[in-house]
Structures are given as C-alpha cells and as structure tokens.
Amino acid sequence: MKTRGPSIQQMIEQQVQKWQFESKEKEKEPEIPVITISREPGSGGRIIAKKVAERLGLDLYYQEVIHEMAENAQVSATLVETLDEKGLNVLDEWITSLVDSRHLWPDQYMQHLMKVVGTIGKHGKAVIVGRGSNFILPEEIRFRVRIIAPLDVRAKHIARTYSISIQEAERRAIKTESGRKASIRKYFNADITDPINYDLVINTGTISIDKAVDTICTAIEK
C-alpha cells in the first residue's frame, strides 16, 4: 500500500516553523543564492534539482507545491507573515520592480505566486523548480539554471518513466513544453527558451545527470 506524503498544509506548517527557528538561531555565514531550475520535459531537471538540494543542504520546492501555495490566498498570506517589516519592504520592492520592468498586469494568482516565490527567496537556502521563479527573484540572490536535451533523448526517458511508446512520449514532451512556453509568455512577457534568461544551460544529452549536478554545485560553491 502506498504511503501518502505530508499534505500541503503540513508542509507549510513545517516550513514556517523552520524559518522561525532559523531567524532566531541564524549565524552570519556565506549566502548561497537561491537556485532556480527551468527544464525541458524529460531532460532530467527534476532529478538534478533533488540531487543539488541534497548535496548543498537546501530546501527543495517542486512546481506543483509552488502552484498549490500560490492558488491558496491563506497559504500565501501565512508565508508572507514569516517576514519582518524590513523583509516585507524588500519583497514589495522586488514585486514592484518586476511588474514595472516587464510591464506586467498580474492577476490574483500571479500576485500570490510572486509573493510565495519572493518569500522563499528572501529566506534563501532553496532550490525552486519551475513556475517562472528565475524571472521573479532579483539577480543578486538567484542562480538560474536551464536543463535541456534533444527531443529523442527526452522521449526515451519519458517513455521509460511512464511505460508509453516513443511516439506518445514525444507528443507529451512537445505538449508540456508548449504549455510552459505559453505560461511564461503570458505571465512574464518572456521566452522560456532564450539562454539570456539563465546563468547556466546544461544539455543532458551530452552531460550526465551526475556531471550536471557537479557543475551546478561547483558554480555555486565558487
């Protein structure tokens, strides 16, 4: 029988408690930028994010978790409340700058999304997968990674993972990536595939998962 993991509410409560404890116990130490992972479907970005977080001792936020947090107004409010007055002012400045620089007209979901990702970024020590986090966080606290691979490589990985045909895997990869491109274009007026939007682009068609993890961690540690 499959054991269910913690609910989103439980995860929120645990994270809030952790942040509250860290704010009391935190010592001055070198800051690690928040690592944002954007990835093509089937490129291994999710696995890389997990391995990087484990090696560097960072919190890991998958896109599904960020999405559920942003959809719930009470959850986003609870997260924002973990910031002190100075942190709240900084968060407001980040959001205002993002909206102005990219000429955005954020709907309610987008407003919550920016607050959730911004709060995580303000606390730091995190790896965030997807949800346009590389566009939300300011350059001084982020390290933006894009994971790519040729379609045939990605299709083989998807086919193995979901026990489907290569043809179906290719269709799934193309459809998912098309949806992500449309979402980023809609919310951030940006092109998810443009390398200028990243600090590091890794092709797992030629570089192994472990080498990709090594490369990211070396860049961060240096």
Give the CATH number of the domain where residue 143 resides: 3.40.50.300
Query: Which residue stretches of the chain have pLDDT < 70?
Result: 1-9, 20-30
Give the pLDDT score at 109: 83
Q: Letter for the amino acid at 43?
A: S
So what's the pLDDT on residue 54? 94
State the pLDDT at residue 214. 95
Residue 141 lies in a domain: yes
Q: 93-119 in b/e burial notation, b at 16+ Cβ within 10 A?
A: ebbeebeeeeebebeeebebbbbbbbb
Identify whether 165 is part of a domain. Answer: yes
What pairing do the DSSP bridges indicate for beta strands 34-39 and 59-61?
Answer: unpaired
Q: What is the DSSP letter of 42?
A: T
| pLDDT at residue 167 in the model | 94
Q: Model-level pTM? A: 0.83
Residue 86 belongs to some domain of the structure: yes
Please indicate, yes or no, if residue 172 is contained in any of the structural domains: yes
Residue 167 domain boundaries? 32-221
Total of domains in the chain: 1
Q: Is the residue at 207 inside a domain?
A: yes
- With a CB cutoff of 8 Å and minimum separation 6, the contacts of 211 are none
Per-residue pLDDT, 104: 75
Residue 123: C-alpha distances to residues 126, 176, 220 (Å) = 8, 30, 17
Residue 23 lies in a domain: no
Whole-number pLDDT of residue 7: 67
* Residue 21 domain flag: no
pLDDT at 13: 72
Tell me if 90 is assigned to some domain.
Answer: yes
